A and B are shown apart, each in its own frame.
Chain A
Amino acid sequence: MSDSADPILEMQALCVTYDTHGRVVHALQDASVTVSAGEAVGIAGESGSGKSTLARAALGLLPERVGRITAGRVSIAGVDVTRYTPRQWERLRGRPLAIVFQDPLSFLNPVMRVGAQIGESVRRHDPHADAHARCVELLELVKLDASVARRYPHELSGGMRQRVMLAIALGCRPRLLIADEPTTALDATTQTEILALLRSLRESLDMSLLVISHDLGLLRWNCDRVYVMYAGHTVEHGRTEDVLQRSAHPYTRGLVEASRMRRRADGRFATIGGDVPDLRQRYHFCPFVARCAHAFATCREAMPPALPADGADHTARCWLLQSQTVPA
């Protein structure tokens, strides 16, 4: 592709709409994400934040005719793929990028042995490869015994299936692995195993990682940098420690506090009031304004740009930063 200085994935001011029977949902309204070589980046958000749409847009997986990129740019290794046709995507997919989803059971073919599915992925990338040998290699990489290759998906536990999905994704030697809620369907004990596996894979394969999750703890352990999404916008970005410990955006702060599930002095749990944002409307002002305790006039008029916050490369789209007042 192009030279290695280009970020592997770059999304700038991306807007995506879903149009079903005249009902339009603005799933992404202004999202910007960059992942460079060797990095682990996280995207934090709840339902309706647009994080899954982002993952799909990155791989051209938006539902045909229904999902469209209406503004902004997506480029993979320097190549602008925003207007790519499905044919072009087919040739591109599985090479620089690969994706792992939340529910391996619905992703894996139930009537095909696991080894065959891994082999399929290998051969798609390199038709002349020794699929069997590579399959064994990949199973080892995800810490599964080679005998697993002969089993069917339903014979495996949730954790094993997720490892198989990882093996399939890695079969094409991607430069970037996107993991969309990789452990949500798994038990807590299995979660930590998979997360540790992701970390070791990243290191041994020198692969970039983009992890999308609502679980902040997960992102903390796997990612160097984190983006926080709300209502289709990337509202905060920076090094993980900065974003989680010195959050600049009121939403991030609320999210972190709510995640910890610790009672405050008054015995109640910290929460963000209100309900999830309505994505049928396009926000030209801060989408969090309805739920924000610190909102003021400007917040209702215009969308704040990314303003610098506490820490290197730490920015948040919040008007509070402009007046340099950090609320207690």
Chain B
Amino acid sequence: MRPRRGIVQGLLRNGAGVASALFIVFLVLVALFGPVIYSGDPLAISDSPMLHPGGSHLLGTDDLGRDVLAELVYGVRVSLFVGCVAAFAATVMGTLVGAIAGYAGGWVDTTIMRIAEFFQVMPTFILAVVIVALLGPGLLRVVAVIALLSWPQTARIARGEVLRVSQLDFVNGVRCLGVPEWRILFREIMPNAIGPVLALGTLIVGYAILLEASLSFLGLSSPDIVSWGRILSVGQRFLFSAWWLSVFPGLAIFATVLAFNLLGDALGDLLNPRRART
């Protein structure tokens, strides 16, 4: 089956979507090739602390003499890793669970949705803090927490879409051909239901990045991970004397989360099944 045509053309028409997509591509490139340009350990303590931006240290250095730009470049990897893996995990889990709930209906549906609500009701941030504080820091733990708390949203959307699509006549048409139910779910219903789910997935990336930054800001991330949030937490102490320690990582987080949000919006519009077809 081919993907729906016109998605790329549609995205191109949305200016914000294009800008965001380009920015994200740029981030990926930085994540892949940045460390090549900036060889050496960004966490290495040097002897030139608290330098203003400019000269050989384009964005200045922090209190331990680390180059801020190098830390930002390395930090992209962490942010993208956490964001994408968490969003991916949440999307996959949520979609599977939501689809089964929507397709099976009855007590299966009710049970699953009650469980989803249980997770949704929990205050994400506080729970993340508690878990990391109890179990100790670790990137995978952060990812796991975010995925665990985000899947209900995806499940809800997936369930709604599956419910909508399974009412359409073409599903019955295929059923009358004797195609088994599981095949109908995965080959007929799911491809038509995932549009809004993907859009939500993109938004979750942004949210995950923000959450990870917040956790490292609070010092709950391990000290040997280069994270934008960690630079921010240093910057907080020197807010007025070393403004560059707050502004640059802050801008980086802001721009990245915004890009994913805008991309998510653009995708959401495009993949909306109610959208009039060209």
Q: Which residues of A contact B13 (CB under 8 A)?
A: 21
Q: Is A23 an interface residue (CB 8 A)?
A: yes
Q: Write the chain B residue with the least CB distance to A23.
A: B278
User: In the complex, A190 Cα to B235 Cα: how many Å?
Assistant: 74
Contacts of A21 in B (CB 8 A): 13, 278
A47 vs chain B, min Cβ distance (A): 16
CA distance A139 to B115 in the complex (A): 50
Distance in angstroms from A138 CB to nearest chain B CB is 35
Number of residues in B with C-beta < 8 Å to the partner?
Answer: 2
Chain A residue nearest to B276 in the complex (CB): A20
Q: How far is the CB of B276 from chain A (nearest CB, A)?
A: 8
A184 to B5, CA, bound (A): 34
Interface bits B8-30 vs A (CB < 8 Å: 1, else 0): 00000100000000000000000
Complex: how many Å from CA A21 to CA B270? 14
Binary CB contact string for chain A from 143 to 177 against chain B (1 if under 8 A, 0 otherwise): 00000000000000000000000000000000000
Residues of A in contact (CB 8 Å), total 2
- What residues of B have a CB within 8 angstroms of the CB of A23 in the complex? 278
Give residues 21-51 of A contacting B (CB, 8 Å).
Answer: 21, 23
> In whole angstroms, how far apart are the Cα atoms of A23 and B13 in the complex?
14
Q: Mark A1-34, 1 if CB is under 8 A from B, else 0.
A: 0000000000000000000010100000000000
Q: How many Å lie between the Cα of A143 and that of B175 in the bound state? A: 46
User: Could you tell me the distance in whole angstroms from the C-beta of A20 to the nearest C-beta in chain B?
Assistant: 8
**Closest Cβ of chain A: how far from B272's Cβ, in Å?**
16
A16 to B236, CA, bound (A): 62
Minimum Cβ distance to chain B for residue A303 (Å): 29
From residue A23, how far is it (CB to closest CB) to chain B in Å?
Answer: 7
Tell me the residues in window 224-278 of chain B with beta carbons closer than 8 Å to chain A beta carbons: 278
A19 nearest CB across to chain B (Å): 13
Give min CB distance, B277 to chain A, whole Å. 11
B15: min CB distance to chain A, Å: 14
The distance from the CB of A75 to the nearest CB of chain B, in whole angstroms, is 32
| Assembly CA distance A23 to B278 (angstroms) | 9
CA distance in complex: A21, B13 (Å): 9
CA distance A276 to B41 in the complex (A): 70
Q: How far apart are the CA atoms of A71 and B13 in the complex, in Å?
A: 30
Q: Mark A129-148, 1 if CB is under 8 A from B, else 0.
A: 00000000000000000000
Q: How far is the CB of B5 from chain A (nearest CB, A)?
A: 15
Tell me, rounded to whole Å, the shortest Cβ–Cβ distance linking A161 to chain B. Answer: 23
Question: Whose C-beta in chain A lies nearest to the C-beta of B9?
Answer: A21
Q: Of all chain A residues, which has the CB nearest B10?
A: A21
Residue-by-residue, is B70-88 near A (CB-CB < 8 Å gives 1, otherwise 0)? 0000000000000000000
How far, in Å, is B274 (CB) from chain A's closest CB?
14
Smallest Cβ distance from B73 to chain A, in angstroms? 39
B278 cross-chain contacts in A, Cβ below 8 A: 21, 23
Q: Shortest distance in angstroms between A315's beta carbon and chain B's nearest beta carbon? A: 37
How distant is B9 from chain A, measured CB to nearest CB, in Å? 10
In whole angstroms, what is the CA distance A35 to B202 when docked? Answer: 55
Q: How far is the CA of A23 from the CA of B9 in the complex (A)?
A: 14
Would you give the shortest CB distance from B154 to chain A, in whole angstroms? Answer: 30
How far, in whole Å, are A21 and B275 apart by their CA atoms in the complex? 14
8 Å CB interface, B1-60 against A: 13
3 closest cross-chain pairs (CB), A and B? A23-B278, A21-B13, A21-B278
Residues of A within 8 A of B (CB): 21, 23
3 contacts between A and B (CB under 8 A): A21-B13, A21-B278, A23-B278
